[in-house]
Amino acid sequence: MNRFRKTSSLSAALLIASMGCALAQSAVTGVVYQDANGNGKKDKKETGIAGVSVSNGVEVTVTDAQGRYQLPVGNDNMIFVIKPAGYKVPVNALNQPQHYYAHKPAGSPALKYKGVPATGNLPKSVDFPLAKYEESADFTALVFGDPQAYNLDEIGYFSKSIVSEVKGISNVAFGLSLGDLVGDDLSLHNPYIKAVNEIGLPWYNVLGNHDMNYDAVADSLSDESFEAGFGPANYAYNYGNAHFIVLDDILYPDPRDGKSYWGGFRKSQLDFVENDLKHVPKDKLIVLSFHIPLMHNNEDAFRNADRQRLFDILKDFPHTLSMSAHTHLQRQNFYGKAEGWQQEKPHHEYNAGTTSGDWYSGEIGSKGFPDGTMRDGTPRGYAFLNIRGNQYTIDYKVAGAPKDYQIKLFHPKVVNQEKPGAAGIYANFFMGDKGSKVEYRVGNGEWKKMVYVEDADPAYENELYKWDTTEELLPGRRPSNPENCTHLWRGPVPRGLAAGEHQIEVRATDMFGKTFTQIGKIRYALPK
């Protein structure tokens, strides 16, 4: 064989080898296995787990009898296992679930805030360890809306007022933050992660619009720094009889004008939801978590077509819940047939109150952090999602207050006994909605229904007057102007009561049948 023929043969062999390598990189294979000794490596005696879903972010496959799977990949995939009920995924030293593998051979593009470094070629096998775990169908998850710190001082406010209150909490399965983990400065993701780690729970996170790479040129690249710090922005996991789906629902740059952002989903994200739910029994509770609420009455805020396709995908699942944040208000949103929901029972979206409240505004108290009451009068706090089988209830906990503090009253302190005037008694029922039953009585009077109103919370307005009429600067930052409250009730001040002090009692029942009471006092007096 002459030199030319030898060289040609060598080139052909190298070409074939490189083609084989390229073909190999078009698919990922691996095994989901029971990690009996907890070392994070598949040992010879450790067996694969059949029937576990694994995804590349769009397609979803199920492991075979030996626990093996195969999925197509490109140059930018987050490959993740969908934790089955009765198992747990490992967590790192910061309590972050390690349920994914980043496949970015060349790494993230150059951005102001770093993304995922180059991962190179895929390993021969991308394996996911699981540990058998006794997991109750009755459990509670801790839910945060918008921690959203813009600097280290605000990380401190978050830690002092929220984290310290739930640190070491028991009887809670895991935590979940509904986006806007920080406020645009993505270098604060690490301090946020360290703060949440103090709670001592496995912690899942949603991408918010203030967690994005604003210098990204395409929506698919706006989560690069989030992926570096937290893993996939779209993923799923099971716990008990509930199936959780976490989604990035921010389109950036806005496809309408290339500026700002828009609520919605890419087609590939909804394909993932559809593919995922093909492997989920219809009697499961489906819990969707995203940042921007579905906003059925505002096309400018959320792309209607995306919400409709999501509703179409969910039409055969009778037990559903959505959770969102973003608004820095607290609302119960319901979607019926008029909004494209295809079941008789409306779909409930809990638009959660935030841990940052009104962006850490308000007067800074003796404990070193601001009041932060939200623009609808809801005090800042956090929520507990309680799941019993495929049913759920939600409790809102006001930070720094007893757990039974669920209603804020606003009323006159003293009124003219003969002419009490047109003043009202207001009840802001934090977890209420238009259909809630809210009643009141004064003294030994009869219980009377309060009237639902959508108006600014007068207690919140009263706080603003303090800021706007002070002659000396107050510590902290003036709160935002009020928004109409969607859980506010009013009753007139009764006439004909005797002079002296009388008790105001308000009772309210939420959508889950839980009844709460709040007490106030009003004095009737004659003018001098």
What are the boundaries of each domain within the chain? 27-129, 139-398, 407-525
> What is each CA distance from 195 to 154, 155, 167, in whole angstroms?
11, 8, 10
Residue 418 has a pLDDT of: 85
Per residue of the chain (528 residues), what is the pLDDT tens digit?
443 344 444 344 433 333 344 444 799 999 999 999 999 999 989 999 999 999 999 999 999 999 999 999 999 999 999 999 999 999 999 999 999 999 999 999 999 999 999 999 999 999 999 999 999 999 999 999 999 999 999 999 999 999 999 999 999 999 999 999 999 999 999 999 999 999 999 999 999 999 999 999 999 999 999 999 999 999 999 999 999 999 999 999 999 999 899 999 999 999 999 999 999 999 999 999 999 999 888 889 999 999 999 999 999 999 999 999 999 999 999 999 999 999 999 999 999 999 999 999 999 988 999 999 999 999 999 999 999 999 999 999 999 999 999 999 999 999 998 888 888 999 999 999 999 999 999 998 899 999 999 999 999 999 999 999 999 999 999 999 999 999 999 999 999 899 999 999 999 999 999 999 999 999 999 988
Residue 83 has a pLDDT of: 98
Task: Name the CATH topology of 407-525.
Answer: Immunoglobulin-like (2.60.40)
Residue 299 has a pLDDT of: 87
Entry field: residues in the chain:
528
pTM comes to: 0.93
Strand ranges (DSSP E) for 136-193?
A: 138-144, 174-177
CATH pick for 27-129 out of 3.30.470.30, 3.40.309.10, 2.60.120.260, 2.60.40.1120? 2.60.40.1120
Closest CA to 108 of 186, 210, 202, 20: 186
Q: Is 63 within 8 Å of 69 (Cβ atoms)?
A: yes
Strand ranges (DSSP E) for 275-337?
A: 285-289, 320-324, 331-335
Do 407-525 and 27-129 have the same topology in CATH? yes
CATH class of 139-398: alpha beta
Residue 174 has a pLDDT of: 98
Residue type, 234: N
- Residue where the block lists tokens 């979607």: 335
Whether residue 253 is preceded by a cis peptide bond, meaning omega within 30 degrees of 0, is yes
Integer Cα distance of 89 and 99 in angstroms? 6
